[in-house]
Structure 1
Amino acid sequence: MRLLPEASWLQFNRRVLRQSERPDFPLLERLRFLAIWNRNLDEFFAARIAKIFLKGRGDAAHRALLEEAQAQCLYAAERYHALLQEAAPVLQVLSAEALDELDWMYFRVFLAEVVAPRTDLIPWEAVGDLSHGALYFASPKHLVRLPQDLPRLLPVPGREGTFVRLGALVRARSDLFLPEEAPLYEFRVLRLLESERARADWDELAQALEGRQEGVPTLLVAEEGFPEAWLEGLRRGLDLLPEEVFRLPPPLNLTLVEALVEAGPSGWRFPPLKPVRPEGFLKNPLGRLREEDLLLYHPFEDYGAVERFAEAALRPEVEEVYATLYRIGEENPLAEALLEAARRGKRVHVLLEGRARFDELQNLRWYLRFLRAGVEVLPLSERKVHAKALLLLTREGGFAHLGTGNYNPQNGRLYTDFSLFTAREEVVRDVHAFFRAVRQGSFPDLALLRTGEAIRALLVESILAEAHPKGRVILKFNHLTDPEVLSALVEAAEAGARVDLLVRSTLTLLHPRFQAKSLVGRYLEHARVAAFRAGGAWKVYLTSADAMPRNFQNRFELLFPVLSKEARRKVLKVLKRQVRDDRNSFLLLPEGEKVLWGGRHDAQRPPG
């Protein structure tokens, strides 16, 4: 059974939404998944739907996606109200009508002094220019836009745990926002935010970002009861199909529940994770690597070890540093260590990927910081750089970190990823060759590691080598959509091999001989791994790449072998725990999904 990538991804987001039902999750964590789901769905209509929207808009496949998305929205609204009922009276969201005169004494002033001066009054004629994601209100003669930076859920002074929606307050006092009092109805517009311009340097990136808000509308979300004539005017003004209009009960953006999560009691959250700290490595990273490789599994083993390794760039024996940076966030100790190394006169070279979707502005800020600190920011290549590599070079050799996850401190503590630290000469040589080639604008010629379509070739060759009754393949990816890899998997499975697929988000082929599942739970599954039995001498590879055509053809990724026997055993133990998991799993079957919750095998618990 074949699936469109977009349809498979939407099914993943439904699995995210279903975490709000988990009987073993604390209440605030279940609420948090509503926000994650909504943020994912906004991204879907801003980017992931682009191919079908632009090439097949209105066809059966596009309409099926819209139908599934709307069904999820209606179910999310049900879950929101059910979870609020469960949270009451410790946490509650009041209607504007439930506020008393003392409450209104405060909110009248708040609306008049804080909100009204910052709202925009827009004529109906300008409907085609409405911004992506903002909260709007429609009235008979005008549209009103709320500023994006105002919280959508406001605490009621003097009533602990009690909130009111900003939208409900605005509707109750329309006289503060319109020339004359009139009814107001809420709506949002989502647009494609992908720039259609090819970006070859940082100047062009900045120009592309300036114009990105002008994308084509893909969805109109309006509250139930929205006047039909007004809704039709919005739809026509935005040039949307009738199916591209969703009617939902407010709130129209469930990310506002994050305010409840922050305000709720700590006992309603997951207990903090205490990651294992590799003490010997943290004291002397380079000395430890001179003895043997180190493999860590985050977040259960401290991501701070990666930052500590970066700080080793400041040691006297380190002369030169190379790093790939993709989604690094607003604050990043690793990036700060690179800046400090440059200030101390080290030669620091950074492949900062400016085209990381929706993180472009953040990376542009880092680009200027690196530039002004004396770091060489390598030119943006034709291929997007998605590899995760950090290289410290000394006169005697060097040290490398290779990973499956971004150099991002927040992700490093919430995502499951592998980190490999090594001083092996053959690995350091290949990592250095990778950076030199990209710096020179040429394609890397690597001996041990793989990049580009060589990753696909290795995967296909290794899978086909397992195409016999005693063969076994375990693949773990976020997305598995590449036709050649899938074809090889079918061949191996039909020849009798056991094929285990751990695919978090997108799997475009469901086969009765596959053992396929998606793990969704407390931590975002993010590691990419390929393991092959090889007659009992397991071959294990880690990679930054998902098994998608674009990752092989249009990106610089890195796939690298796990050479240490102990490290291979560790990776295989993680994979086999996930294969057995029956607490966070959804079996992906041709006839549909099967939920595995409540069992004894929890792969998201710290390894024993």
Structure 2
Amino acid sequence: MTKTKKVSKAINFSESQYYFNRELSWLEFNRRVLHESLDIRTPLLERLKFAAIFSSNLDEFFMVRVAIIKEQVAAELSRRTPDGLTPQEQLEAIYQQLRPMVIEQHRYFEKVLCPEMATHGIHLLNYIDTTPEQRSYLQQLFKKQIFPVLTPLAVDPSHPFPLMANLSLNLAVVVKAPDTGEEKFARVKVPNILPRFIPLPQELQIQNGKLNHWTGVSIEQVIAHNLDALFPGMIINEYHLFRLTRDADLEVAEQEADDLLLAIQQELRKRHFGGSVVRLEIQPSMPKSVRQMLIAEMALIESDVYEIDGLLNLKDLMSFMALPLPELKDPGWTGVIPPRLQHFHQKNKVANLSDEEKDIFSVIQQKDLLVHHPYESFSASVEQFIVQAAHDPHVLAIKMTLYRTSGDSEIVSSLIAAAENGKQVAVLVELKARFDEENNITWANKLEKSGVHVVYGLAGLKTHTKIVLVVRQEGDEIRRYVHVGTGNYNPKTAKLYTDVGLLSCREDLGADLTDLFNYLTGYSYQESYRKLLVSPINMRDRIIALIQREIEHSKNGKKGQIIAKMNSLVDPQIIATLYAASQAGVQIDLIVRGVCCLRPGVAEVSENIRIISIIGRFLEHSRIFHFYNDGQSEVYIGSADWMPRNLDRRVEAVIPVEDAEILQNLHNILEIMLADNRQAWEMQSDGSYIQRRPDQNEPERSSQNILMAMTQQLSSK
């Protein structure tokens, strides 16, 4: 129930007590990811997958966020975050909050998941527990396939401490000379070009007369138990596994770079070896002498060291998802073809269609089309839109942004084909898309060589918007078709991320996207748009104005309501405006998957704000913003979260949805998510989250399962 409070005194919303720390909030998000690995309701291999995602997320967190904070500490910066913490205080809080989570993850894997894997015929063995026959096989495999790849590196006065790659897994080996008894140190890198987990042949997987689904060992154990081949004549005293994480955030002085492509290529070479080490993972058995040497050589402090009891780098558990065991995974899902596009995807009916009925443009001409991935097929909708545009003789030009894409995408090959067909093709490739820089450089070069006009964005701004503009000659007229979405043009992630997009030929949207592309590719600085909210130009002001309009409605005795779905909510100005809206009686429901710095449920401040986070088989990635507007609802979709970087330092686009049916569909999606009692977590005023559970006699409501069922049902009508 909405609560309207009369505030007796003015509240300063800039006070630190009203904000959560961004980094600690992210750790809470990753805790929710970890919970999926711990939740017995999740199928076994999916639990391994979530353990892998938790570890992968942590790698990126250290490579970017922790690295930045450590740089601030080194520079003796003391500027406080909105929640009042200095860089040093943030580091200490991160370590304190994170260590118990890491311990819990590894303990659960060793004590629960491994035994449960074994009950299902998946045996990850310790080398010492292998049979003589299994060990003989592994020794032969080591000699033939692993030994030739290894390079032991000595550390002594004539051999300096070796440079080690980011995220590398290594063995610290202590050997002794048999004649002098002198101990020496060497490092052996575990090669990441070979599989992390080595399966045994079928004849060696039989246990109690039954063939297991998978039996094998980790590659580092095979190496560790065959070290004598690397150090012949030496005595192997001990070996200890360790893993390091480096600062991997690129620093490109764009204003000073003559060639942005070349500058980023040069920085990428530094990423693997050049960044300072920010985390060292070791096993508890490592003696103090070896530990101290590694700490000293990598310029670390004790708080940078994480002791891992068991298998290091659980990210590699993702490989077990390849096992052909559907009963241990979520039921398979293939995105359905949107109903309005089904007729020209059904080959047996295509022959009866006219040329006009066969193209996607005729469908869009009828009315706007909303697509919702992965529930609806990306390849049968957005990708089909671009493929048809590339080969349609009436299409004159194609313009689009590429933030992240994949190697097997038809989109890149279609753009190349379009250029070869004589169409004007312009593509903005964002070279600064973190950890996709190398892929994007590859596609940029490939596109450029084929005659596509490739631009690399604006200096000082990442281009994060997801837009396509197709210009088509139709009789005596030129018509512009657009796609504006919330997700990347990547067919792989489109099967895993939830995203929405709008296909339209509305003239105002076409004109806006034309102006936006001129801004991106030329010297235009368009300051006003007909419909689009564009960062960094007008989006911040427009969003605040939309919130303030709900405040005015509420103050005038009308209903005020906001429902907003996004990945992250960080921006202090927007948070303060939401607090003001809550005070005025506006009911605010926020669906924020990840970082959320707003504190809900604070008396006289945020009593009317409810925040949930949904963590499920699909990664919630769509951004949908609903404003009640006194019954004349306005709904926007687009690429931007409510973060300073999205509003001030990126090019983003958000569009209003005007079709009444699509408005209702988007509102229904939001309501289904707000009613979730299976994968939804409700944020508390102290920053913790409580997972919703069905009440007694209440059915379980998983929003993602419901949306799959609804989409399937609508598709079959």
TM-score (norm 2): 0.83
1:456 and 2:551 equivalent? Answer: no
Is the contact between residue 401 and residue 468 of structure 2 (CA under 8 Å) also seen in structure 1? yes
1:573, distance to aligned residue in structure 2 (A): 0.6
Pairing partner for 1:435 from 511, 517, 539: 517
1:465 and 2:549 equivalent? Answer: yes
1:352 and 2:429 equivalent? Answer: yes
Is the contact between residue 426 and residue 453 of structure 2 (CA under 8 Å) also seen in structure 1? yes
1:472, distance to aligned residue in structure 2 (A): 0.6
Pairing partner for 1:399 from 467, 481, 502: 481
**The 10-residue stretch of structure 1 (494-503 or 192-201) with the greater mean CA deviation from structure 2:** 192-201
Which letter does structure 2 place at the counterpart of 1:546? D
In the alignment of these two chains, the number of paired residues is 608
> 1:557-576 maps to which residues of 2 (within 5 A)?
557-576=652-671
Is the contact between residue 501 and residue 637 of structure 2 (CA under 8 Å) also seen in structure 1? no
> 1:287-306 maps to which residues of 2 (within 5 A)?
287-304=362-379, 305-306=381-382
Q: Which residue of 1 aligns with 2:263?
A: 204
Q: Which residue of 2 aligns with 1:11?
A: 28
Report Cα offsets for 1:52-94 as digits up to 9, x if no partner.
2211368232012122222221111122121121121411111
1:501, distance to aligned residue in structure 2 (A): 0.9
Q: Which residue of 1 aligns with 2:198?
A: 154
1:27, distance to aligned residue in structure 2 (A): 1.0
- Cα 1:72–1:444 change in 2 (3 A) is farther
Which letter does structure 1 place at the counterpart of 2:42? F
Which letter does structure 2 place at the counterpart of 1:6? E
Q: Which residue of 1 aligns with 2:83?
A: none
Counterpart Cα distance in 1 of 2:533 and 2:162: 47
1:510, distance to aligned residue in structure 2 (A): 1.1
Which letter does structure 2 place at the counterpart of 1:216? S
Between the two proteins, what is the percent identity of the paired residues?
29
SS at match of 2:568: strand
Pairing partner for 2:612 from 506, 514, 517: 517
Report Cα offsets for 1:320-379 as digits up to 9, x if no partner.
000100110222112221111111111110001111100111111101110111111014
1:143 and 2:226 equivalent? Answer: no
Runs of 4+ that moved beyond 6 A? none
Is the contact between residue 245 and residue 280 of structure 2 (CA under 8 Å) also seen in structure 1? yes
SS at match of 1:506: coil
Which letter does structure 2 place at the counterpart of 1:458? R
Pairwise CA RMSD of aligned residues? 1.6
Counterpart Cα distance in 2 of 1:296 and 1:368: 31
1:25, distance to aligned residue in structure 2 (A): 1.9
1:274, distance to aligned residue in structure 2 (A): 3.5
1:276, distance to aligned residue in structure 2 (A): 2.6
Counterpart Cα distance in 2 of 1:606 and 1:277: 17
SS at match of 1:338: helix
Q: Which residue of 2 aligns with 1:53?
A: 70
TM-score (norm 1): 0.97
Report Cα offsets for 1:160-219 as digits up to 9, x if no partner.
411211111122122123352412110000011012222452121111112222111110
Counterpart Cα distance in 1 of 2:465 and 2:235: 56
Q: Which residue of 2 aligns with 1:65?
A: 94
Counterpart Cα distance in 1 of 2:575 and 2:417: 45
1:271 and 2:331 equivalent? Answer: yes
Extract unaligned runs of 5+ from structure 2.
1-17, 75-86, 175-184, 206-211, 345-358, 602-606, 711-717
Q: Which residue of 1 aligns with 2:623?
A: 528
Is the contact between residue 169 and residue 189 of structure 2 (CA under 8 Å) also seen in structure 1? yes
Q: Which residue of 1 aligns with 2:572?
A: 483
Is the contact between residue 498 and residue 618 of structure 2 (CA under 8 Å) also seen in structure 1? yes
1:169 and 2:169 equivalent? Answer: no
Which letter does structure 2 place at the counterpart of 1:353? E
Q: Which residue of 2 aligns with 1:23?
A: 40
Is the contact between residue 28 and residue 264 of structure 1 (CA under 8 Å) also seen in structure 2? no
Is the contact between residue 144 and residue 177 of structure 1 (CA under 8 Å) also seen in structure 2? no
Is the contact between residue 91 and residue 264 of structure 1 (CA under 8 Å) also seen in structure 2? no
Which letter does structure 2 place at the counterpart of 1:493? S
Counterpart Cα distance in 1 of 2:250 and 2:366: 48
Counterpart Cα distance in 1 of 2:319 and 2:485: 33
Is the contact between residue 189 and residue 219 of structure 1 (CA under 8 Å) also seen in structure 2? yes
Report Cα offsets for 1:405-433 as digits up to 9, x if no partner.
00000111111100100010110110111
Which letter does structure 1 place at the counterpart of 2:572? P
**The 10-residue stretch of structure 1 (223-232 or 173-182) with the greater mean CA deviation from structure 2:** 173-182
**The 10-residue stretch of structure 1 (422-431 or 506-515) with the greater mean CA deviation from structure 2:** 506-515
Q: Which residue of 2 aligns with 1:111?
A: 142
Which letter does structure 2 place at the counterpart of 1:312? Q
> 1:166-245 maps to which residues of 2 (within 5 A)?
166-179=219-232, 180-182=234-236, 183-199=238-254, 201-213=260-272, 214-245=274-305
SS at match of 1:511: coil
Extract unaligned runs of 5+ from structure 1.
none
Which letter does structure 1 place at the counterpart of 2:682? L
Which letter does structure 2 place at the counterpart of 1:61? Q
Which letter does structure 2 place at the counterpart of 1:406? N
- Cα 1:379–1:442 change in 2 (3 A) is farther
1:387, distance to aligned residue in structure 2 (A): 0.4
Is the contact between residue 478 and residue 505 of structure 1 (CA under 8 Å) also seen in structure 2? yes
SS at match of 1:451: strand
Is the contact between residue 452 and residue 557 of structure 1 (CA under 8 Å) also seen in structure 2? yes
Is the contact between residue 35 and residue 255 of structure 1 (CA under 8 Å) also seen in structure 2? yes
Pairing partner for 2:645 from 545, 550, 571: 550
**The 10-residue stretch of structure 1 (146-155 or 564-573) with the greater mean CA deviation from structure 2:** 146-155
Pairing partner for 1:386 from 464, 477, 484: 464
- Cα 1:312–1:444 change in 2 (3 A) is farther
